[in-house]
Amino acid sequence: SCTKHEVCDEAFTLGKLSCEGKTKLVYDINSTTPGRCLIVSKDTITAGNGAKKNIMEGKAEMSTSTNASAMQILNDVGIKTSFIKVVNKNRTFAWKCHMIPIEWVIRRVATGSFIRRNVGVKEGYRFAPPKLETFFKDDENDDPQWGREVLEEAKLKCGDIEITSHLIDMMEKMSVTIFEVMEKAWQTKDVSLIDMKIEFGIRCDTNEVILADVIDNDSWRIWPSGDKRLMKDKQVYRNLKTITNNDMKNLKENYSWVSEQLGEVAESFRDQTKSTTVAIFMGSPKDMAHCNSIKASCSDLGVNCTLHVSSNGLGPVISGNTVLPVINCPPPSPQWCTADIWSSLRLPSGLGCATLLDPQAAALCSAQILAQRNPAVWARLRVKQMKNFLDLKQSNAELK
Ligand SMILES: Nc1ncnc2c1ncn2[C@@H]1O[C@H](COP(=O)(O)OP(=O)(O)OP(=O)(O)O)[C@@H](O)[C@H]1O
Ligand SMILES: [Mg+2]
């Protein structure tokens, strides 16, 4: 039975079992593309560090497809993840990583262990920006919370890479951005992402820090309509004292609902970028290069453009005849410093179009306008801002 993520087109042979956890097995693989591993999901559901454990038939498949949808959303908007593709219903190709043994927990709403650890903060308190906490993955000691100082001083080594304060800064920024993107994605289904756990790894072949492990229904709390009573995630299982057949059936329905809904979100994220349009009007075809550069910057943000040749004095005239936002972006000319941009800036009364001189700025501004209604564009913009931060940080680190 083929799922929509299924790709059955590649030959490979299974190598050695590289590790086995409570919910997954990771195998080395021999194939023409090096650097990858095979993640095999299990039907196991666990809580309390394995203290409670059950088999939930179909969980492996639902986890695989939920993870594929989450990772597709993130990959599409420019987050680097370990996800490559689904091989069959419970198997996924991923970039093999040296895993960083930290759980990065990002919270929008205080609940669960946070309110137990922070007496005085009421359940429902909203963190803005999202609150980040880190826990060292150490089952024997119940995954102790590590403050930033502890994490820095631990000087963890993953492969040949030491986890420096520079890398921690990067992962902190990525964690919050990843949360914000998934939060935005779930909003399209009127589902509140309350909190989420992720892990990072160092890609074995490139040494890049990427989002790794999986994101599935065990990774977060999600409350439809922001209503805790409607929760659909693993918390439902954690809350069960004894587990009846009916409980198991209900749980399975939740997992299946989540997998289905997120699949739809992932698809609609792709469709949204196809349907969003910026119309670029130029005064004459000699402005083509300038307009193409606006178009290229729009494409980077998942915004399609149509190009049109029309007459001069365009911006103000269009603006006066539509309620759509209009941005003038006059092509550079030698007269700029003296007079030329005044025809865009000095508008007749009753008009309200904006003027931006740089093509990329015009593209960004239009994407920001579209992002108010378009979550996929919103996510790309947010990731672009994250990348600006990471690039600057990287340049600074290299300079040092
Ligand atoms: N892309 C990857 N490359 C290498 N290892 C990976 C990758 N993705 C996940 N793993 C590792 O696979 C192992 C099995 O995952 P699983 O989640 O089942 O473990 P677990 O029992 O939850 O234990 P843990 O507490 O370490 O997550 C984990 O150690 C995880 O870090
Ligand atoms: Mg795990």
Per DSSP, helices labelled H in 276-354 are 288-300, 314-319, 342-345
The residue whose CA is least distant from atom 23 of ligand 1 is 21
pLDDT tens per residue across span 353-396: 999 999 999 999 999 999 999 999 999 999 999 999 999 999 99
* Residue type present at position 334: P
What pLDDT is stored for residue 334 in this prediction? Answer: 75
CA-nearest residue for atom 7, ligand 1, is: 213
The pLDDT score that the predictor gives to residue 11 is 81
- SS3 percent helix, strand, coil of the chain, rounded to 5, is 40, 25, 30
Q: Tell me the per-residue pLDDT of 102-148, one tens digit each, with 9 for 90 and over.
A: 999 999 999 999 999 999 999 999 999 999 999 999 999 999 999 99
CA of 21 to the centre of ligand 2 (A): 7
Atom nearest to 139 CA in ligand 1: 25
CATH of domain 96-274: 3.30.470.20
Task: Tell me the CA–centroid distance for residue 18 and ligand 1, in Å.
Answer: 10
Which atom of ligand 1 lies at the shortest distance from residue 99's CA?
A: 31
- Architecture of domain 13-93 in CATH? 2-Layer Sandwich (3.30)
Task: Name the residue among 331, 252, 253 with its Cα closest to residue 287.
Answer: 331
Atom of ligand 1 lying closest to residue 25 CA: 14
Tokens of 231: 């929760």
The pLDDT score that the predictor gives to residue 7 is: 55
2 pLDDT above the threshold of 60? no
Would you tell me which CATH number, out of the four given (3.90.25.10, 3.40.190.10, 3.40.50.970, 3.40.50.1970), belongs to the domain 277-373? 3.40.50.1970
Is residue 198 within 8 A of residue 106, CB to CB? The reply is: yes
The dihedrals phi and psi of 272, each to the nearest 5 degrees, come to -60, -40
Distance CA 156, CA 162 (A): 6
Whose C-alpha lies nearest to ligand 1, atom 5?
Answer: 97
Predicted local distance difference test score (pLDDT) of residue 362: 97
Q: What's the mean pLDDT in 344-360?
A: 92
163 CA distance to ligand 1 middle (Å): 18
Q: Is the pLDDT of residue 267 over 80?
A: yes
Q: Where are the domains of the chain?
A: 13-93, 96-274, 277-373
Q: With 60 as the cut, is the pLDDT of residue 1 above it?
A: no
Residue 5 pLDDT exceeds 60: no
Q: What is the structure's pLDDT at 9? A: 67
**pLDDT value, residue 339:** 61
Mean pLDDT of 336-344: 73
In the predicted model, what is the mean pLDDT of residues 77-98?
97
Q: By the 8 A CB rule, do 200 and 209 touch?
A: yes
- Averaged pLDDT for residues 271-280: 84
User: Which residue puts its alpha carbon closest to atom 8 of ligand 1?
Assistant: 213
Residues 337-346: what's their mean pLDDT?
76
Q: Which residues have CB under 6 Å of ligand 1?
A: 19, 21-24, 26, 37, 39, 82, 94-97, 99, 137, 201, 212-213
Locate the ligand 1 atom nearest the alpha carbon of residue 20 and give its number. 14
Residue spans of beta strands (DSSP E) within the chain: 13-20, 24-30, 36-41, 44-47, 52-55, 83-88, 91-95, 97-99, 102-109, 126-136, 145-146, 157-158, 161-162, 191-203, 209-212, 220-224, 277-282, 304-309, 327-328, 354-355
Mean pLDDT of 257-276: 90
The pLDDT mean for the chain works out to: 94
**pLDDT of 3 strictly over 50:** no
Sequence-distant (6+) residues with CB within 8 A of 39 are 24, 25, 26, 91, 92, 93, 94, 214
Is the per-residue pLDDT at 6 higher than 80?
Answer: no
Most confident of 8-12, 30-34, 54-58, 269-273: 54-58
Give the distance (Å) from ligand 2 centre to CA of residue 203: 17
Q: Whose CA is nearest to atom 30 of ligand 1?
A: 213
Encoding tokens for residue 133?
Answer: 């906490």
As a whole-number percent, the residues of the chain with pLDDT over 70 amount to: 96
Tens of pLDDT, residues 303-327:
999 999 998 778 899 999 999 999 9
CA–centroid distance, residue 228 to ligand 1 (Å): 29
Helices (H), 86-164: 113-117, 148-154
